Structure 1
Amino acid sequence: MDRSLTPSLISFYIILELDSSNGNLSYKTVPLEAYRSIFKNDLFKGEVILVSGGGTGIGRCIAHELASLGATVVIAARRLEPLKAVQEEIIKLGGVCDTMQINIRDAAMATKLIQDIVEKHGKLSCLVNNAGGQFLSPASMLSANGFATVVDLNLNGTFNMCKAAFDGYMGEHGGRIVNIVADIRNGIPRAMHTGAARAGIINMTKTLAVEWGPYNGIRVNCISPGLIVSSGMKNYDQGVVDWFLKGHWKNPSGRFGTESEIAASVAFLLSPAASYITGVNLEVDGGSSLSRGNLEGDDLVYNPEGSLHPAYVGWPEGAHNVHSIKHVDAPPKVNQLLEKYKKISRSKL
């Protein structure tokens, strides 16, 4: 086995292992030093922030971002093992992190979760609804049960968490909520079920912003990520990853987004800087939603040779160490693609 040690997206080392017999590459992340947000490091000092789905991918990065800004971060999900791993990372890096188990489809469990957080930590300042998921299926082959399952997880689960947070703390004390959805404006093939659920969340967000605003200034917003380089890509088969790669540059930014760019957007919407922003759906997608939404077209509009837009990552040198954008817990083909962004991005910083 050949080994090398390289820095990762959010200030970890990735241990790469190359099997010389078959050429397969495997890797694992090892914490190195604290995540460095672009924001002031005590921005959320004294705040208690709940991040659902905080054990992997974008949720993990959000947890690191908020912990680096002084928050006590509570990460919750169905499986405790990945949560404990992220908790250990954050604590080793000097942050404060707690873990709790939740099935967001269970309203009673969501209510108990909020009660436990308030009892243990004294408050709940913010809620980030990141938990969710789906499988890909053409609508013509989607069963009623499959549709209901995805809607229950994403739409009903988000409602359960929002309602529990309101009843258990925010209705009396105020707070901020950010719902992570998806860029579904133009429709996504094989994702009709999750598209319907996410559209419901966006409308629910706007309605809650109107209804709950008078309750001590509760703010409720959405973030719709575009194509983001994340460990979540490993949940899809190679054909889907290849489909992503084929259209990666077909937006005005000419590239994928990073987990840190979603985490920074969450931090902004939770911060006092966004105190006059509520009920919005912030599309963090490099302008993808402005195009026709057709990955087969737009060849003459955007440049496939490389992005002119530098990427933001939470590396110790901040955005200025663009070399780190290629070190992501994503399929190797995606990391190879990010290597192409490096040279142009450096010249822009």
Structure 2
Amino acid sequence: MADIFSVAGKVVCITGSSRGLGKAIARGFADRGAKVVISSWNLEELEATQREFQSQDLEVYAVEVDVSKRDRCQQLIDRTVEHYGAIDILICNAGIDIIKPAEQYEAEEWDKIIDINLRGYYFCAQFAAQQMLDRGAGSIIMTSSIAGAVGIPGLVPYAASKGGINQMVRTMAVEWAQKGVRVNAVAPGYIDNMMAGVEYDENNTYQQRVTRFTPMGRRGKVEEFLGAYIFLASDAASYITGEVLYVDGGYHAA
């Protein structure tokens, strides 16, 4: 009997995958026999991750990319297809955050967060979809956040970008539902690996919210988020599109 959760042999392109959650996702897919394209704007970190994976005999190809630039998004998808011959799964995961009161953001801070977290997701998905629609098959998964659905102080531009992702997922999903391309999102809660632009301080009021508002009382380990991405990428989710799957220790339910 075929394994409906299998991603073996699939070509998976993951943005923001040289560290943290993206790196854990990349390792998880590679461990399961997928052909993985990792990407990041940080070339030194990206090359180090590639060497690490290759030393463990994992199938991985690295592409430097700044997803805030449309032409670089196009290059990422083009190089994926040139190297592996196709793209089966795109995971938009690159992201940054700057935690500040709403009245204090500078225009360039707003623009940077939106350009990477939302605009970059759109263009990567657009170019990947063009390839997938021609073949009549594909899965696009975007990393959203609990901040896209509930109010969390200090996250105005980040929350706006994640709320935008949720609506982009739903809209793309209904446009492409009869053309073989599924579009979904995973919405993580608090992760034990901090993203770029965020510094951890256990005495900070923002950080103390984590255990207080998460029913499971802790941050999730990066490995605990992998299953959602594997599931949505696999044939096990063949009738699922336009969904936002919350992986948050109960935060969204509380």
Task: State the TM-score, normalized to the length of structure 1.
Answer: 0.68
Q: Which residue of 1 aligns with 2:171?
A: 207
Report the counterpart of residue 161 of structure 1 in structure 2: 124
What is the identity, as a one-letter code, of the residue corresponding to 1:222? A
- CA gap of 1:246–1:187, structure 2 versus 1, over 3 A, is closer
Partner residue in 1 for 2:245 = 282
1:250-309 per-residue CA deviation (whole Å, 9 max, x = no partner) reads 433232211111112111110111111110000100110122xxxxxxxxxxxxxxxxxx
* 1:67-82 alignment, distance < 5 Å: 67-82=30-45
Q: Supply the distance in 2 between the matched residues of 1:245 and 1:278 (Cα, whole angstroms).
A: 35
| 1:59 partner amino acid | G
The answer to whether the 8 A contact 1:56-1:231 is kept is no
C-alpha separation between the residues in 1 aligned to 2:76 and 2:7?
A: 21
Unaligned ranges ≥5, structure 1: 1-39, 292-349
Pairwise CA distance, 1:249: 5.2
- Give matches, 1:59-74, under 5 Å: 59-74=22-37
Is 1:262 matched with 2:225?
yes
1:232 alignment partner, SS class: coil
Assess if the C-alpha contact under 8 Å between 1:222 and 1:280 holds in 2.
Answer: yes
**CA-atom RMSD, angstroms?**
1.9
Asked whether the 8 Å contact 1:80–1:99 carries over to 2, the reply is no
Q: What letter matches 2:226 in structure 1?
A: A
Spell out structure 1 runs of 4+ moving beyond 6 A: none
Higher relative contact order (CA 8 A, sep 6+): 2
Task: Say whether the 8 Å CA contact 1:249–1:256 is kept in structure 2.
Answer: no
Q: How does 1:331-346 map to 2 (within 5 A)?
A: none
Deviation track 1:101-146 (CA, whole Å, cap 9, x = no partner) reads: 1111111111122111111110101000000112111111112332
Identical residues among aligned pairs (%): 31
Gaps of 5+ in 2: none
Residues 98, 197 of structure 2: 8 Å contact kept: no
Aligned length: 249
- Given the superposition, is the C-alpha separation of residues 228 and 234 from structure 1 closer, same or farther in structure 2, using an over 3 Å criterion? same
C-alpha distance in 2 between matches for 1:251 and 1:137: 21
Name the aligned partner's letter for residue 183 of structure 1.
Answer: I
**SS of match in other structure, 2:230:** helix
Per the alignment, residue 218 of structure 1 pairs with 181
Q: Contact between 2:194 and 2:200, CA under 8 Å: does it hold in 1? A: no
More helix by share: 2
Residue 242 of structure 1: how far off its partner (Å)? 6.4
Equivalent in the alignment of 1:150:
113
* Structure 1 residue 239 displacement after superposition: 5.8
User: Are 2:126 and 1:172 aligned?
Assistant: no
- Asked if 1:45 is matched to 2:8, the reply is yes
Question: Cα 1:147–1:48, aligned 2, differ >3 Å: closer, same or farther?
Answer: same
Who is 1:112 aligned against? 75
- CA positional deviation for 1:212: 1.2
